[in-house]
Structures are given as C-alpha cells and as structure tokens.
Structure 1
Amino acid sequence: MSTITNTTSPFHHRSAAAHHRLRIQSTLQNQENTPPTTTPRRKMLTTVLLTTSLALALQATPQALAQNWGTRSFIRERFFEPGLSPEDSVARIRQSAEGLHALRGMLESMSWRYVIFYIRLKQAYLSQDMKTALTMVPENQRDSYVQAANALVDNMAEFDHYVRSPKVYESYLYYEKTLKSIDDLVAFL
C-alpha cells in the first residue's frame, strides 16, 4: 500500500460552467441594450495620424530657411531626391570639409566607431556631390579637379581602411592626407 493516500475531489463542471454562462449572458444582454460608444481603433488611428501630420506640416520651416543637406535628411535625399543643385552640392562639400577638420577630437580620443560612421556617411555624399559640382568648375580646370577628386576618394578609402584596423599612426597619416585633398578640392570651387 502506498504511503500517500490523498483523495482528490472531482471537479464540478456543471456548477462552474453554469456560473460562467450566467456572466457571459449578462454581458451580452448589456451590450445589446447600449449603443456602441467607442470608436473603432482604425478610425481613431487614422484620426491621430492625420492630425499629427497636419500639425507637423504647419510647423515645418520654410524651404528657403531649411538646409537641403545633413544627416537627418540622408535617406530622403539618397533615395527620393537624389539630385541637388550644383550650388547646394558645393555648399555640402564645404560643410563636409569643415566636418572633417572637426574630426580630429574623435581621432585623438580613439572613437573609432564614430569615425568610421562619419567617414562612410561623408563618402556617400561626396561621391554624388563631386559629380554634381563638376559643372561649376571652369573647362580649363576640370582635369585638375578630377585628379583632386580622385585623390580625395583614394585617401578617404585608405583612411577608412586604417581606422577599421585600427592602426593609429596610419590613421593620422591618411587623415592629414584626406584634409589636404579636400582642401585642394574646395579651392577649385
């Protein structure tokens, strides 16, 4: 004979089901008697989206005051508005040159991840902007502009390579070469 002789009481299916059935029936009767006062989720969601989009459209800065470039509008400009005017491209090249000059602090603190992100972002912009800004360069200087642009692309690629490794001396060396080549490029513009 076993030492554990607990007897379990059987479940009372009918009494539990009858209790739940009464609760369900009473809630169904209450729902039939009262008109629906809640709005459907879809209608509420569309109302919220429309009001927020209208509010944002009213608060947006005028196009003349806003910049046409920057990291916040990267996806929009890259995929939906790929063509900037030559003047905007020149301005963005100059802004990239200033940003690369300000990158020295991140290199000194060895923030490699942020440097890599910044270099790759600027490479994506500059490759398109240098082609667009070529129209602003006079005919007799185009060959030297193309050579300066190619030198900039090569130096940025090497800079990216050495930052990824991370080799400190080579990173600084190609950082200085990149600064010199972007300054030469800006001199043409």
Structure 2
Amino acid sequence: MSSFTANTPTLLHAQKKIADKPGIHQLKRPIPITKASISPLENVTSRRKIVTFLSTSLALGQLHGTPTTTPPPALAEKWGTRSLIWEHFFQPDLSPEDAVARITQTAEGLHSIRDMLESMAWRYVMFYIRQKQAYLSKDLKNALSTLPPSLQEDYVKKANELVDNMDEFILQFDSYVRTPRVYESYLYYEKTLKSIDDVVAILGENKASVVT
C-alpha cells in the first residue's frame, strides 16, 4: 500500500511530461495567405488603356457624325419622373405644355397603383398619392392656358372634381387604412381615375384640334 502511494507522484509527473510534449495532431501551423498585388506601373498602364479607348470612341463618333438623340418633351424628365424624392424637394414651375405632359403621366401613374392597392401596399400608395397631389393643382392651373375659351369651362369643372375626389380618397384611405373598411376608399379611387381621365381627354381633344 505504501509502495503504491510512493510511486504515484512519479507516474503523474511522467504523464504530465508526456502531455506537455505536443504531438503531431497538436501542431498548429499558420496558413499562408496569398495576396494579389498590383504594381503601380501596371495600374497606371491599365488606366491609360481605358482613357485611350474612351478617347478613340468619342473621336470615331464625331467623325461619323453620330446624331445625339433627344427625348421628347413628355419624357424629358424635367420634373424628375423617376424619383419621387426629387419631385418632393425640387418642383420647378413648368410651362403649360410640360404641365399637360405631367398630368398625362400622373393619370398613368394612378392607374398603375391598382396592383399596389390589391396587394395592400398601403404605405406606398399613401406616399404616392400625396406626392402627386402636391403639384397636381399647380399643373391643372398651368394647363388651363393651353385651352381655348370653348373648353375652359368644362375643363375647370372636371379639374375641380378631380381635386375633390383625390382629397376624399386620401381622407378615406388615411382614416380606414388599419380597419376592414379600407376597401370603402376604393370607391373614391375609381372616382379619381374617372376624373383625371376626363381631364386628360379634354387636353387630348385640344391637342388634336391644334394639330389639325
């Protein structure tokens, strides 16, 4: 019993020494990292190639007399048709002709949000309607000067109906957006579409008479 107790520390020391010696499976070698490096000379050369290519392309275009295409007035994006943020913060005063073009595009945009209503994208619909409402009254006033006196009375009536229906649509939609009654606002959405279609029809009739 005493011999076993005396030999125990020796065995423990031996095990500790064995444990201190790292085995093959314990060796940790750093993984070499390969970094791609580009010399400054190669970088400058590639830049010169790009500049040369662009200069050559421009020179060839001028030699062949390539015409520069300009978009029609309705697509000139003077009012930032592709950016609601641009329309919100930058709203330049448009000419009567550009106001007519923007009213037409507003009508197309109001028709296009029907899918948003059906998919219940309420936040986007409210933002879009309020954004269009912000400048629609100004466009309606500017477009009035393009009409002859014979069409102005009917135009003013339809324009007032459009403004009233859009205001009522926003009011109803904003009040019932979180309730099952939100679908009742669709009635005013349809009225808004009909009103703006009537306005566009009057403007189109005037444009057709001017062309002929």
Report the TM-score, using the length of structure 1 for normalisation. Answer: 0.61
Q: Paired residue for 1:133? A: 143
**CA distance in 1: counterparts of 2:126 and 2:100, whole angstroms:** 23
The number of equivalent residue pairs is 125
Question: Greater CA radius of gyration, 1 or 2?
Answer: 2
Name the SS of the counterpart of 1:136 in structure 2. coil
Q: CA deviation at 1:73?
A: 3.0
Q: Does 2:186 match 1:176?
A: no
Q: Paired residue for 1:74? A: 87
Unaligned segments of structure 2, at least 5 residues = 1-67, 204-212
**CA distance in 2: counterparts of 1:94 and 1:144, whole angstroms:** 18
**CA distance in 2: counterparts of 1:74 and 1:98, whole angstroms:** 16
**CA distance in 1: counterparts of 2:105 and 2:174, whole angstroms:** 24
Listed one character per residue, the Cα deviations across residues 117-173 of structure 1 (whole Å, up to 9, x for unaligned) are 111100012111000000011111111111101100010011101111223332110
**CA distance in 2: counterparts of 1:74 and 1:175, whole angstroms:** 22
- AA aligned opposite 1:184: D
- AA aligned opposite 2:122: W
Highest RCO, 1 vs 2 (Cα 8 Å, sep ≥ 6): 1
Identity, in percent, stands at 60
Root-mean-square deviation (CA), in Å?
1.9
Q: Paired residue for 1:5? A: none
Moved more, 66-75 or 168-177: 66-75
**CA distance in 2: counterparts of 1:76 and 1:158, whole angstroms:** 25
Moved more, 65-74 or 175-184: 65-74
For the 8 Å contact 1:112–1:164, the answer to whether it is kept is no
Q: Paired residue for 1:14? A: none
Q: Out of 91, 106, 115, which is 2:116 matched to?
A: 106
Q: Paired residue for 2:168? A: 158
**CA distance in 2: counterparts of 1:76 and 1:88, whole angstroms:** 18
Structure-2 change in CA distance of 1:77 and 1:180 (3 Å): same
Q: Out of 69, 92, 104, which is 2:102 matched to?
A: 92
Moved over 6 A (4+): none
Q: CA deviation at 1:76?
A: 5.5
